[in-house]
Amino acid sequence: MQTEGFESIFIDLDALAPRIVGGAVRGLIGAADELADAARGSGAYEDQSGATRAGTTAYVVGGNVDGSGALARGAAEVAARNPGHEFVESIDGGGENEVVVVLTVPTDYADDLETKNAGAHAFIGPAMTSGVGALQAAALSGIAQELS
C-alpha cells in the first residue's frame, strides 16, 4: 500500500525539526548582537543616565538557548547606571520548535520610552522593523549550514 511511503516522509520531517531549530538559533545569535548594536546606535535615546543605551540587549530564545545571560548582562548595565530601575521579565519561546528574537532594555521604564511623546524616543520598534530582513537571512543561513 502506498501510505507507507508517506508515513516515512513525515517521520523524516519530524526528525529534521530539531536540526532546523538548532540551525536557526545558531544563525540568529550573531544577528541578535548586531540588532542590539544597531538599536544602541539610535539617536532616539534620551541618555539622561546612559542606562537605557548600555542595557539594550537582544537575545535568542529557542532550542536549548534561553537568553538569560544576555538579559542579566543588560540588567547589570542598567543597575550600574540607574540603580533600582532594572527590571527583568523572562520570555518563553513558546512551542518546542519555535525560535524568538527579543530586543529589549531591562528597565522599569522601557514601555514609556516606546510610547511617550508619540514614540519620539522609541528605538525597539524601529530597530526590529529595520532588522527583520537581516534576522530572516541569518536564520536561513544557519538552517542551510545545519542541513548541508
Angstrom distance (rounded) from CA 89 to CA 137: 28
pLDDT (tens place) for every residue of the chain, 148 residues total: 455 666 766 667 778 889 999 999 999 999 999 999 999 988 877 778 899 899 999 999 988 888 888 989 999 999 999 999 998 876 665 677 889 999 999 999 888 888 887 778 788 888 999 999 999 999 999 999 999 9
Angstrom distance (rounded) from CA 51 to CA 132: 25
pLDDT tens per residue, range 97-135: 889 999 999 999 888 888 887 778 788 888 999 999 999
Nearest to residue 107, comparing CAs of 123, 126, 84? 84
